[in-house]
Structure 1
Amino acid sequence: MSGSSKGRGAGPRDKSLFHDKIMPTLSEAIIDLSFLLHREYAEAAALKLVGDHFQLQKRQRMAVLRSSSDPHALDHLYTKHPETLKGQTLCIDGFNLIILIEAALGGGLIMRGVDGCLRDLSSVHGTYRMVGQTGQSIELIGQHLAAQQVHEVHWYLDSPVSNSGRLAQKIRDKAEQNGWNWYAHTENHVDKIISETPHISISTDKIILQQCQRWWNLGAQIVEQSIPEAWIIDLTHRDFHPPTKIK
């Protein structure tokens, strides 16, 4: 990779697709989609049904999907949350975390879902390029973990994704420069590793959240505390619960 691309900013139509007046509609769509997923509807079919009903555009549908959750799983998720990170070992879903921080720093759209996680609309699809905010993102993550006196951090990056090795080396270099006890690995089955670790998992991947033993909502913590300029839309619903039927 010869250089870094500009950044992970907002899509050209995001301001019009996610204006204030559409937020109640998106929140209602999330309630309906969560209900269908809880009833074990196929994800693609459920999203099409809900998206067509609310006449949502492609990126709006993606936002609804990424922000939805089975409400009955939420209480279980937060039983996995330890009281502190002090002295703990973390296993980080590398691309998942770093792309979120890059997007938040770059002005990209960030969504708060019903599970309290922050997610972006970026996607890797086998390719990754460092952006102008990559180094700053690693530094910001490191500062947060150092302040919380984390004992050891293992970063896991999907080896089939392009430039995973270069990003792993950049993470190692930053760790060495700052004296952080970090290790960066490129692996074929990152989701499985992070789902099965006895240590604290750092990810917003829904499969990992369901299967992991312990979890910390690190991405949301960093964005909320250290990136005040981040564009966050709140897609939670104060009365969120599974409806008895779809409207």
Structure 2
Amino acid sequence: MTGHRGTQPDDARLFAPDRVPILRRAVTDLAWLLTRGYGADSALRLVGDHFQLTSRQRLAVGRSSCSDAARDGRARRRLALAACRFQPLVIDGYNLLITLESALASGCLLRGRDGAIRDLASVHGSWRRVAETERAIRVVADALRSAEAGPVTWFLDAPVSNSGRLKTLLQTTGTALDLPWTVELTMNADRAILATGLPVVSSDSWILDEAAAWVNLAAEVLPGITPPPPVLDLQAPDPPPDRTAPLPSPEQGVRATSRGGSGALPAPRRATPSRGAERLFRAAIRGDTGVGQARSRSALWRGGRRASRAAGRVGPGGGGPTPGRSAPPRGAQPPSRGTSRGRRRERPTSGRSGLPPMRPRR
């Protein structure tokens, strides 16, 4: 047969050694978002836009990343092929074969956060036999025979084109090599695989999260393939501590934490008025001006320059009297604002409260 699986002309440029650190950072950021419950599609779009990734690079990042909980769960349920000796085993047929076909064709392979080997081949409802198909089946047969695993059941999706031909090829190879395996065609291979409750050979993320146990068969047979296929290792390290730490509480403060501080907000600095303003405050408190009758001691201290300007003794800079205006004598009331147009008239007051007189009810 002619044709190969999983190779594209731009892969050498898109996944060059100088692009690997950027892709690893993208995998780390995507894992950070997935761990915190962000949607996979929106998170991948955000990360891809941030790092300006192409569609094929985004595909690689999305297939290589997972949340911390998913990674830890898959690591606990992972089995070595040697542990399946004389044990029944199920194989996700298209998932394993397409990965091995890509590996034998020197296509780009990915090693994700969970250690699983994945490919970048796009097969949507259609599969065709390529030059590496028979060799890929024999690689699987040799690995199963060496580990003495079995009986083995292959599951294939019936809606995928050429599934019947692949079933015949698998049965013929199994009979020729005297291997105890069977092939099942089903409308939904993923659910049929999980319904068995047996260890499964697959790298499908949904199956790995739901299966009781899984075997990373592709990773175990790669060392025996010659020439060795290129494997893009995107097993990014854990996010740095400042990104995994919980958000600070309101008592600790968010601004200090974001700046690398201890987490506590700094004590507010008390405003220090000028000497001239301080003398005016003390005079107003003693009753030397009319300001002290309308404001409390704390309000005067906070209101600094406004109170000083209202008294007519401090200029806009706060350092002395306003140019062209003499300070009123000690004990004098501040001058009124006048009655010119555009200015508010002074309202008469009644009593000691300083409030305007109440109008009689009609």
Tell me the TM-score range normalised by the shorter chain.
over 0.9
**Cα drift, residue 75 of structure 1:** 2.5
The aligned counterpart of 1:26 is 23
**Cα drift, residue 139 of structure 1:** 0.4
- Alpha-carbon separation, structure 1, partners of 2:74 and 2:26: 22
The aligned counterpart of 1:189 is 188
Residues 241, 100 of structure 1: alpha-carbon distance in 2 compared, 3 angstrom cutoff: farther
- Alpha-carbon separation, structure 2, partners of 1:224 and 1:114: 19
**Cα drift, residue 9 of structure 1:** 4.6
**Cα drift, residue 240 of structure 1:** 5.2
Whether 1:160 and 2:159 are equivalent positions in the alignment is yes
Larger Cα-atom Rg: 2
Whether 1:70 and 2:67 are equivalent positions in the alignment is yes
Q: What is the SS of the residue equivalent to 1:213?
A: coil
Please list the CA deviations of residues 226-245 of structure 1 after superposition, one character each: whole Å capped at 9, or x if unmatched: 34521111111234579449
- Alpha-carbon separation, structure 2, partners of 1:71 and 1:224: 28
Amino acid at match of 1:116: G
**Cα drift, residue 136 of structure 1:** 0.3
Counterpart of 1:11 (choices 8, 14, 31) is: 8
State the structure with bigger RCO (CA 8 A, min sep 6), 1 or 2. Answer: 1
- The question of whether the paired residues in 2 share the 8 Å contact of 1:196 and 1:213 is answered with no
Q: How does 1:54-65 map to 2 (within 5 A)?
A: 54-65=51-62
Residues 131, 151 of structure 1: alpha-carbon distance in 2 compared, 3 angstrom cutoff: same
**Cα drift, residue 222 of structure 1:** 1.1
* Stretches of structure 1 lacking an aligned partner (at least 5 in a row): none
Q: How does 1:44-123 map to 2 (within 5 A)?
A: 44-82=41-79, 84-123=83-122
- Alpha-carbon separation, structure 2, partners of 1:87 and 1:8: 33
Amino acid at match of 1:146: R
Amino acid at match of 2:170: I
The aligned counterpart of 2:292 is none
The aligned counterpart of 1:234 is 233
Give me the TM-score of the superposition, normalised by structure 2: 0.64
- The question of whether the paired residues in 1 share the 8 Å contact of 2:126 and 2:160 is answered with yes
Q: What is the SS of the residue equivalent to 2:5?
A: coil
- The question of whether the paired residues in 1 share the 8 Å contact of 2:6 and 2:121 is answered with no
- The question of whether the paired residues in 1 share the 8 Å contact of 2:28 and 2:238 is answered with no
Please list the CA deviations of residues 137-163 of structure 1 after superposition, one character each: whole Å capped at 9, or x if unmatched: 000100000000012110001110000
Quote the RMSD (CA, aligned, Å).
1.7
- Alpha-carbon separation, structure 2, partners of 1:38 and 1:75: 12
Amino acid at match of 2:46: L
- Alpha-carbon separation, structure 2, partners of 1:228 and 1:196: 37
The aligned counterpart of 2:131 is 132
Sequence identity of aligned pairs in percent? 38
**Cα drift, residue 215 of structure 1:** 0.9
- Alpha-carbon separation, structure 2, partners of 1:69 and 1:183: 32
- The question of whether the paired residues in 1 share the 8 Å contact of 2:4 and 2:102 is answered with yes
Amino acid at match of 2:37: E
The aligned counterpart of 2:209 is 210
Amino acid at match of 1:56: L
- Alpha-carbon separation, structure 1, partners of 2:25 and 2:207: 25
Whether 1:147 and 2:146 are equivalent positions in the alignment is yes
- Alpha-carbon separation, structure 1, partners of 2:200 and 2:71: 16
- Alpha-carbon separation, structure 1, partners of 2:215 and 2:111: 15
Please list the CA deviations of residues 34-59 of structure 1 after superposition, one character each: whole Å capped at 9, or x if unmatched: 12222232222111100000000110
| Larger strand proportion of the pair | 1
Q: What is the SS of the residue equivalent to 2:138?
A: helix
- The question of whether the paired residues in 1 share the 8 Å contact of 2:88 and 2:198 is answered with yes
- Alpha-carbon separation, structure 2, partners of 1:115 and 1:194: 20
Q: What is the SS of the residue equivalent to 1:79?
A: helix
**Cα drift, residue 33 of structure 1:** 1.0
- Alpha-carbon separation, structure 2, partners of 1:79 and 1:114: 14
* Stretches of structure 2 lacking an aligned partner (at least 5 in a row): 246-362
Amino acid at match of 2:228: E
| Count of residues in correspondence between the two structures | 242
Please list the CA deviations of residues 17-71 of structure 1 after superposition, one character each: whole Å capped at 9, or x if unmatched: 0000111110010011112222232222111100000000110000000000112
**Cα drift, residue 192 of structure 1:** 0.8
Give me the TM-score of the superposition, normalised by structure 1: 0.93
Residues 82, 21 of structure 1: alpha-carbon distance in 2 compared, 3 angstrom cutoff: closer
- Alpha-carbon separation, structure 1, partners of 2:87 and 2:141: 14
**Cα drift, residue 73 of structure 1:** 2.3
